[in-house]
A = this chain, B = another copy of it.
Amino acid sequence: MSSAAADDATLLDPDLAARNARKEQRRRQLLDAAARVMEREGSQAVSMQAVAAEAGVSVGLIYRYFGSKDELLLAVIVNVLEDFAVAVPAAIDAAGDDPVERLAAAFRGYCEVIDRHRHATVLTYRESKSLDEAGRERIKELEVETSRPLSRLLRDGIEAGVFRPVEPETVAYNLLLVAHAWALKHWYFERTYSFDDYVRAQLSLALHGLVQPKHRRRYARFLQE
């Protein structure tokens, strides 16, 4: 594995380790700066100049860490998608064995990640001019990947007889969409909901369409609006 190889090299050469650490830190600094610019100026005005200024470095430096603007933007997005890959499974594991509890935890996990990266999420919805075909494909792939845990949970719940026999992929994608909406339509939903309320309300709506009548009573606490 490459990480093992890296460890080897790192063990052999502490200098290299330090350098890699600094490099990673810079990457993160630049990613954060890019996110902050998006936050401030709207996700379209992310000029390299602006990112450099925000990070307090020179333009040239960015190009030591990201080959192009594409790569930087892609990295911002991938960064979010990787957060999903870590946070959602963790939330599911912490939720116990019950299918509904697990689904609820997963959905809440998604929403939390999106809330953390609200502006980067919006970025995903822009077919950036710079973002090339390959980059777009990469993002789509990762997004689908991201929906995987949800569809698995749905399938489990269906098999367990707790959920109606729905198309798991479609419902999973709908849930993703509703989570995204907290970022995309934040200006709308924030009028009515706090973050917690939003999660609860949307979960209730979704579960009402999913949970079999005979199990409704058991999950009442998720089903009240």
Residues of B contacting A192 in the complex (Cβ-Cβ under 8 angstroms): 167, 169-170
Structural contact, A208 and B164, CB atoms closer than 8 A: yes
Size of interface on A: residues with Cβ below 8 Å to B: 39
A59 to chain B, nearest CB (A): 12
Q: Does A98 contact B (CB under 8 A)?
A: no
Structural contact, A187 and B125, CB atoms closer than 8 A: no
Q: Does A153 contact B (CB under 8 A)?
A: no
Please pick, from B44, B169, B188, B205, the residue contacting A209 in the complex, using a CB distance under 8 A: B205
Structural contact, A181 and B171, CB atoms closer than 8 A: no
Residues of B contacting A125 in the complex (Cβ-Cβ under 8 angstroms): 122, 125-126, 184
Q: Which of A127, A128, A189 has the most B CB atoms < 10 Å from its CB?
A: A127
Copies in the complex: 4
Q: Does A56 contact B (CB under 8 A)?
A: no
Structural contact, A44 and B128, CB atoms closer than 8 A: yes
Structural contact, B122 and A187, CB atoms closer than 8 A: no
Interface residues of A in 121-168 (CB under 8 A from B): 122, 125-129, 140, 144, 164-167
Q: Does A173 contact B (CB under 8 A)?
A: yes
Structural contact, A181 and B187, CB atoms closer than 8 A: no
Residues of B contacting A173 in the complex (Cβ-Cβ under 8 angstroms): 181, 185, 188-189
Structural contact, A170 and B205, CB atoms closer than 8 A: yes
Residues of A within 8 A of B (CB): 42-45, 122, 125-129, 140, 144, 164-167, 169-171, 173-174, 177-178, 181, 184-185, 187-189, 192, 201-202, 205-206, 208-210, 213, 225
Beyond A140-B187, A173-B181, A206-B209, 7 additional pairs, beta carbon < 8 A: A44-B127, A125-B125, A126-B126, A140-B188, A144-B188, A173-B189, A177-B185
